[in-house]
Homo-oligomer: A and B are copies of this chain.
Amino acid sequence: MIVVMQAHAPESEVEAVIDRLTELGFDVHRSTGVDHTVLGAVGRTPCDPRALEILPGVRQVVRVSEPYKLASRTFRPQDTVIEVQGLKLGGPEVVVIAGPCSVESPDQIQTAAKIVRQAGCRALRGGAFKPRTSPYSFQGLGEEALRWLRRAADREELLVVTEVMDTSQITTVAKYADILQVGARNMQNYALLKELGKLNKPVLLKRGLAGTIEELLMSAEYLLAGGNYQVILCERGIRTFETAARNTLDLCAIPIVHKLSHLPILADPSHGTGLRDKVAPMARAAVAAGADGLLIEVHPEPEKAVSDGVQSLLPEDLFALMEQLKIIATAVGRRLA
């Protein structure tokens, strides 16, 4: 923590700040300049910088350590590789997870699973509990859909990735899923994160629409601090002034997360763009930027999908995309899983 005093702050104010820092358990180093006195506070006490900014005579407080610990690369310099049933996320392989937005029927999800497998993907996504902006929209088919999803995935030897929306759903979802997804709207649902921190299953944590990269890592910290080290991050678009696409996919978050943290990070070009014909370009771009994997919506018949058909790839789009991704992966020294 570094505290910069206001220009010409009186000695009494400087001393009051030093006393407060000492009380809080810091060692204080003082540096007196022409205009400004600067205090370096050394220690490991967690402390809200704003609690110091409020003291008389203080101009600015700068935090030196990252607010997250377990999620930081300082804490763990080597990449975290998460192994789920033999599939490794965060290693040299790029993992593509695909499937429909919602699980709609046993047939639909079975057909989707076949396409996903045929494309060479290793995991199947599909929603049973759907967070929808309108209470009048399709809300998902619940546990029955999870059963269909599991069965379809098993037949095609795929992993299951599906969303959990509330603490009350964790037990049910964990029964069927290999990886539990926390959606963008729940990135800061701390009650949910705390419970998932106690779970012994990987969690895929999506960045919220207004979530900074630092906040995404802080939310991951909730999971890690709870004891669950199997955390996979996912960039899925942020909200900006541009409305030509549904969201602005912030692909620079990928190299930034890789520098700050040891956790793997995927990209979701389907939600990140909301437009089918933008999914393949952004999927290619994500892998070129270093993503550890992708989350992609594909539907056997998008025009009949009950949700998000407009952003779902057609099966043939997915096949063509996988061929392009193979080439791009080699450019960054990787290969598709």
Contacts and interface: CB of A to CB of B under 8 A. Distances in A.
A116 interface: no
Contacts of A188: 131, 133, 185
Nearest to A254: B281
A19 to B, nearest CB: 12
Contact of A134 (B59, B136, B218): B218
A240 B65 CA distance: 24
Contacts of A4: 2, 62, 64
Interface stretch (A87-95, A151-159, A198-206, A208-216): A208-216
Query: Most chain-B Cβ atoms within 10 A of its Cβ — which of A74, A286, A288, A305?
Result: A288
B132 A190 contact: yes
A118 interface: no
A112 B309 CA distance: 49
Nearest to A223: B135
> How many chain copies?
4
B238 A240 contact: yes
Q: Sort chain A's interface into a size bin.
A: 35 or more
Contacts of A186: 189
Contacts of A194: 135
Contacts of A62: 2, 4, 60, 62
Contact of A327 (B192, B309, B330): B330
A259 interface: yes
Nearest to A74: B7
A46 B186 CA distance: 26
